[in-house]
Chains A and B, each alone.
Chain A
Amino acid sequence: MGGSVAQTTAEPTAAVLVAALGLPFLGALVVPLLYRALGERVAYVAAAIALACFGLVASQYGTQGTVTVPWIPELDVALVLYLDGLSLLIALLASGIGVLIFTYSGSYMHGESGIARYYATLLAFMGSMLGVALASDLISLFVFWELTSITSFGLIGHYREEASSLYAARKSMLITVSGGLFMLVGFLLLRYVSGEALASATYTLVGTPDSMIANADAMRVALQDAGLFLPVLGLIAIGAGAKSAQVPLHLWLPNAMEAPTPVSAFLHSATMVKAGVYLVGRMRPLLVGEEWMLLFGTLGLLTMTVTALLAIGASDIKELLAYSTASHLGLITAGFGFANQLGAETGVFHILNHALFKATLFLVAGIVAHEAGTRAIDELSGLRHDLPLVAVITAIAALGMAGLPPFNGFYSKELLFEAAYEVAHTDGGLLWLFPIVAVVGSVFTFLYSIRFLWLFMGEKPAGLGEVHSPPALLVAPPAILAALAAVVGIDPQLAVDTIVQSAFGSAVAGEAHTMSVHLPTELKPAVLMSAITIAVGIVASPFYDRIRDAVRRASRGPLSANWYYDGAVDGLERASALSLPRVQTGYFRTYAAWTLAATSLLALAGYLAAGVSLPAFTGLSVALPVVIVLAVAVVGAAAVGIAPSHVAGVLTLSILGFMIALFYVLSNAPDLALTQLAVETLVLVLFLLVLDKLPAYYGDAPLSRTLRDGALAAGVGVTVFVTVLVATAASPNDVIAEFLVERAPVPKEHGPVLLDSGGGGNIVNVILVDFRAFDTMGEISVVAMAALSVLTLIAMRGRGESS
């Protein structure tokens, strides 16, 4: 990809990557079994699995490339994994923080219910996240992406008895999964366009010479030619925005704190939400440009500022952290959004920094809630007396979050300022809003970070009871993370050289320059912006409570995002409750009418949308007998409509059926004719058998219903007519019929055993039982199943009535 990345030419090992991806899922299967033997100690098994994943991924450090594991070689289907700096960073964060989360959970989740389910889901979740990071093609990326949504649904809804927990789980699922579906449409459009831009259409995003990113320029030109650039950009932004909680789709994130705290720490720092920014970073070399910058720069900075304000308005420490997560994701998105290299530097560096300090703070919040017994911000302060070590940990992380030098968040925020300034300086005009909004957002960030730190400062309020000291296993994970954050803060260049530089290379189109990060030694615009941020922050902090109250007042009613979500969901529920009595009446005719109408409409709309043209009419060339037979069939069909009784209706319907059999005879299809005759006879007999029990005469149907049914029947007829015309007009180049005509009969010269030919005179039957025997097999299975279901349904109904 360029820069120093190009020097690392070693390829990753296929077995190692597959093992790293497969282990968590395998673990998810094994953990429930192990739970019976080990009980809660199964947490450490899960931690060991995460550690193994971390080790496996880390062992591939310095490699870059694609590994292919054949899956269905005949169909050229393979599992393709891609590893480069960016995926390595995400994979290391997911598995590394995973180790700490599992260890922490071992103490934190003590005595909780559903332990086996918890660890199994958490492992599967970690595996899905590794899959997102390692996927090389769009389809597997999408599959793992939605897997993270589904597994997080289980995790957020862990406390199944609590309504708020279920509400939160449903909300996150609804938003992230539907966002993912938008993204899928974007992916499909990308594949469609890749057919124009590349040698052949591909789903491969990255890693091979004919992947989309390797041909980014051609892809961009093709996208613009097709007028699909903005739609694709928008669809991918919706997917990434929903996952990464960007405004206005951020509303699921604060509710997600209903999850057990270790889950929140994992979801909000290293995984789930990082999938969205990962996608933005991954797509960046493919789509970056003017439109990209306007979209993601605006979206990111808006999110950063709005959610930072909401964090100030929070009353619960986890809620504060959740909004702050959305805010920092906004920062990362904005960074990736800026179309210069500094922007990419911001994005990747802040991914690392945010994961380190946010996981720490969530784990600290868990300790505070566990030991002090409350999460309300107003009730907590002065905790440093009881929790001195935790106070130090918090100070390192919170000051990093505030962006104060020399803590880790400072450097990536500084890069954001530089990037925003450079953009504004180059293009001018309205783009000066970028650096201004970045500073405003950072002031709010500074304010709530200090507020979180204040939990440990000041005096202990009288209302706060005894605060226990936490067990070592609860403190060790955040301590390790804080230590790492401190190292990044003291020597950022070390972190850059180790991992950020190569990840940076993945997010840049073209050559990436060498990153150099250190404490500023001269007065640059970015330094000035940082100084303003801190100064304004300090001046504003005495007014924190007023700002908080203002935010709370403003975010009520129609201005709160929840208002829209709840309104939309309620509206949907009411609409479906209204439509239910119209669609599900329990009458067969209602179901048939809806199904037929929907199918016809969809099919016709599909033809219209695809611009299918009907074949030209070339004049009638039909023999007289066929005309007569079809005319009788039409008369029979018309007679069905006006038949006075069931029996008459069935009999006239069979006129139609038998005429069609005759038509087959005239068209030289004796097999079809035979089948039609036999089936028609059987159906007639069956009908007569059943009709015996029904009243002899029809009731009077209202005229409106007759008209409606007539219109429906006409619509279905038109659909079938058009479908037959369109289907028969299409003539493929390689005619399958020729293949079958050649191979079905006995060849002239043949030995005693025939294998490659059907050896039968009746092509239809040879196709059924030889060439397409597998199809027939499926069909007879369906017939058998139909018989079984008739048996079961009627037997069950009888039982239901008798009891």
Chain B
Amino acid sequence: MSTPDRDTDVTVIAKTVTRVVFPLILLTAIALLLRGHNLPGGGFIAGVLTAAAFALLYVIFGLDFVGSDLLDRGGTPTVAAGPAIVAEYRLAFAAGLGLAVTGGIAAIALGFPFLTQAVLFLYDLPIYHELELASAFVFDLGVYLVVVGALLTILAVVGAE
């Protein structure tokens, strides 16, 4: 994928479509994440979808593009050190795991068992009128980050192979 001569295999149509579709997929993923509490969706699906979007980028543009152009990083990824971009992915899943645990510990701090979740209803808000805030969303966000980070790490490392 990352060899220059392979780039000629990818047609302009594919590249253009990817440019349009990529943000759409990400948007869908975020929508799935946000509405997961009440409608089909959730952190895991959103995470897999996000990873799929990046996988599309890898297939069409190659590993280097995501590393150098998209995230403004120089250098070719090498396997021995792990692709440079992997550091970000690793950060993502570490942060996700941390977020999930912290959310659970917050419940302990408030005097409830580990990982107790609560739902808070806000009334009389402008525009929204009524808003439901679930603490489980924090946990879901953690799941999302872990899935995205882990899948992309595997993808990048295996892809670089």
Contact = CB atoms under 8 A, between A and B. Distances in A.
Interface of A: 670-671, 674-675, 678-679, 681-682, 685-686, 688-690, 692-693, 746, 750-755, 757-762, 764-766, 768-770, 773-774, 776-777, 780-781, 783-784, 786-788, 790-791, 794-795, 798-799, 802
A124 B39 CA distance: 57
7 contacts: A682-B48, A689-B1, A752-B121, A761-B38, A780-B96, A787-B154, A791-B153
Contacts of B66: none
Given A689-B58, A758-B136, A786 B154 contact: yes
Contacts of B56: 685
Contact of A761 (B39, B80, B153, B161): B39
A781 B51 CA distance: 18
Interface stretch (B14-22, B67-75, B142-150): B142-150
Contacts of A764: 40, 42
B124 to A, nearest CB: 11
B43 A769 contact: yes
A686 B55 contact: yes
A629 to B, nearest CB: 19
A765 B119 contact: no
A769 B118 contact: no
A692 B60 CA distance: 13
Given A773-B104, A783-B93, A795-B79, 5 more contacts: A755-B112, A790-B153, A790-B157, A794-B161, A798-B80
A692 B160 CA distance: 12
A763 to B, nearest CB: 10
B143 A776 contact: yes
Contacts of B149: 784, 787
B97 A671 contact: no
A692 B1 CA distance: 8
B151 A774 contact: no
* Residues of B in contact with A, size category: 35 or more
B140 interface: yes
Nearest to A787: B150
Contact of A674 (B1, B40, B140): B40
Nearest to A669: B40
A675 B120 CA distance: 28
Interface in B104-161: 104, 112, 114-123, 132, 134, 136-137, 139-140, 142-143, 146-147, 149-151, 153-155, 157-159, 161
B92 to A, nearest CB: 10
A791 B137 CA distance: 29
B123 A678 contact: no
B24 interface: no
A65 B40 CA distance: 59
Contacts of B146: 780, 783-784
A769 B116 CA distance: 10
B30 interface: no
Contacts of A674: 32, 40-41, 45
From DSSP, what is the main secondary structure of chain B's interface residues? helix
Nearest to A772: B115
Q: Which of A670, A757, A765 has the most C-beta atoms of chain B within 10 angstroms of its own C-beta?
A: A765
B85 interface: no
A689 B59 contact: yes
Given A753-B118, A754-B119, A784-B150, A762 B157 contact: no
B42 A671 contact: yes
Contact of A762 (B36, B97, B120): B36
A681 B42 contact: no
A664 to B, nearest CB: 11
Contacts of A692: 1
Contact of B82 (A690, A751, A795): A795
Nearest to B115: A773
Contacts of B96: 780, 784
Contacts of A770: 117, 136
Given A682-B51, A689-B159, A760-B136, A753 B42 contact: no
Nearest to A780: B146
Contact of A678 (B48, B81, B159): B48
A609 B140 CA distance: 42
B81 to A, nearest CB: 7
Closest 6 CB pairs of A and B: A759-B119, A761-B38, A787-B150, A754-B119, A678-B48, A670-B40
Contacts of A761: 37-39
A681 to B, nearest CB: 5
B147 A769 contact: no
Contacts of B45: 671, 674-675, 678
A671 B40 contact: yes
A141 to B, nearest CB: 33
B42 A762 contact: yes
A681 B151 CA distance: 13
Nearest to B136: A769
Contact of B42 (A746, A751, A769, A780): A769
